[in-house]
Amino acid sequence: MKKIVVLGAGMVGKEVARDLCLEFKVTSVDMSAEALKSAFTGSPVETIQADLSRQETILKIVEPFDLVVGALPGFMGKQALAAVLSAGKDAVDIAFFPEDPFELDELAKKKNVTAVVDFGVAPGMSNVFMGYQSKKMQSIERFECLVGGLPVVREWPFEYRAVFSPSDVIEEYTRPARYVENGREVVRPALSDVEQIFIEGVGTLEAFNSDGLRTLERTMKAPNMKEKTMRYPGHALLMQAFRDSGFFDKEPMEFHGMRISPLEFTSRILFSKWRLKEDEDDFTAMRVTIEGTSREGRRETIVYNLLDRFDREKKVTSMARTTGYACTGAVRLLAGGKFKRKGICPPEFLGEEEDCFNFLMKHLEERGVRYNRSVTARQG
């Protein structure tokens, strides 16, 4: 039985460990003893309490394991993955760290290991669909991903719950959004170009620019590619007010003899307001649209739709399901020797391999995460 260690026992990391322990020997590592106890009491998952901000700690912890899952906040992600690769371990990472993951490609190849990065819902499965269609179509002209995780019950003023690290959520509101338009990179402020989107089964949401293309801009050839985040209408304007007033600034400021960044202060306050309540229903909605020309010369529009909801029986959030089970699918591909490419591998690389694509879709279907695919075709 392969031994797998999951670094981070947050909302998604704990569900990754729970799913993997069905067939692997799994250990979860987190700084919080309380988080480990609440997540894994009565579970076969073993636990280690440790501060994962130190690379030497990670090197020591991962040494006896066959494969590592990174489920840490984004600001810790790259440093942690670098330590894992230095230890010569294969990895699947869902930290979604802001740095370019390909900066670690040389290290991964030198160690002859595979590091699958960004493997959640979006980035993650959205990239998988793009990779898959790139091999099925003659050319792709447009890729668009609209995605959001939200509470079912809307509570003023935020009408939002953080289903992963609040600091990573705020990063979506501050990091400039890159997209591709007519073959050229365009950079726009996050939260810009708000538009109204109707989602069947949900209603009207708003979508705004966010920096979610990530590796697709480098790995895929399409003249138009864009990713937008969805929230309930009005949320973007409120977050713009916070951002433009300085509440999300990272530079420390002097306050009563202490130095603290506005972002740290704001994150602490918002986390209490954004925390999902026990048994609170959430949902994840995603629409991926890919337009191009088929191998037969037809104009095609392929749409992948997802609407996933809180699992009341198992008490698992939708974001943990859609992100976590995509991650565990990638882990099983690596652990089973079904994906062997070395180096830094974003999700689109797995999507390019049809056997991997089919495995992932079946894996998610078995766990109740269902993507509906539709194709509209016309001649010429």
Domains of the chain by residue range = 3-120+318-370, 125-309
**How many Å apart are CA 179 and CA 189, to the nearest integer?**
11
Looking at domain 3-120+318-370, which CATH architecture does it have? 3-Layer(aba) Sandwich (3.40)
Q: What pLDDT does residue 165 have?
A: 66
CA distance 126 to 326: 11
Across 28-37, average pLDDT: 95
Average pLDDT over residues 239-262: 92
- Distance, in Å, from the CA atom of 84 to the CA atom of 123, rounded to the nearest integer, reads 21
The answer to whether the CB of 99 falls within 8 A of the CB of 78 is: yes
Tokens found for residue 106: 């040389």
Token pair recorded at residue 369? 């995460």
| Structure confidence by residue, pLDDT tens digits, 141-188 | 999 999 999 999 999 999 998 866 667 788 889 999 999 999 999 999
Residues paired with residue 135 on neighbouring β-strands, in sequence order: none
Instruction: List the strands of the sheet with 90-93, edge to edge.
Output: 46-49, 25-30, 3-7, 67-70, 90-93, 114-116, 343-345
- Angle between the N-to-C axes of helices 354-366 and 125-136, in degrees from 0 to 180, rounded to the nearest 10: 140
Do the beta carbons of residue 317 and residue 282 sit within 8 Å? yes
Q: What does the pLDDT average to over 191-196?
A: 96
d(CA 380, CA 377): 10
Is residue 379 pLDDT above 90, yes or no? Answer: no
By percentage, how much of the chain surpasses pLDDT 90?
Answer: 85
pLDDT at 280 over 80: yes
For residue 256, name the pLDDT band (cuts at 50, 70, 90). Answer: confident
Report in angstroms the alpha-carbon separations of 140 from 124, 146, 375.
19, 18, 14
pLDDT at 242 (0 to 100)? 94
For residue 277, what pLDDT is reported?
Answer: 80
- Fold adopted by 125-309: Dihydrodipicolinate Reductase; domain 2 (3.30.360)
- Residue 380: pLDDT band (50, 70, 90) is low
Mean pLDDT computed over 194-200: 96
How far is Cα 175 from Cα 162, in angstroms, rounded to an integer? Answer: 18
Exposure on the CB side of residue 148, measured as CA atoms within 13 A: 27
> DSSP letters along 294-350, please?
ETTSEEEEEEEEEEEE-BTTTTB-HHHHHHHHHHHHHHHHHHTTS----EEE-HHHH
Q: Identify any residues that bridge with 55 across adjacent strands, giving them in sequence order.
A: none
Residue 140: DSSP 8-state? E
Average confidence score pLDDT of the chain:
94
pLDDT in tens, 323-367: 999 999 999 999 999 999 999 999 999 999 999 999 999 999 999
pLDDT digits (tens, 9 = 90+) for 85-128: 999 999 999 999 989 999 999 999 999 999 999 999 999 999 99
Neighbour count for residue 264 (Cβ, 10 Å): 11
Residue type at 92 in one-letter notation: V
Determine the average pLDDT of the residues in 130-142: 97
Q: How confident is the model at residue 278 (pLDDT cuts 50, 70, 90)?
A: confident
Instruction: For residues 43 and 49, give the distance between their C-alpha atoms in angstroms, rounded to a whole number.
Output: 16
How far does CA 333 lie from the centroid of its chain? 18
Q: Are 206 and 196 in contact (CB under 8 A)?
A: yes
Tokens standing for residue 87: 């230890």
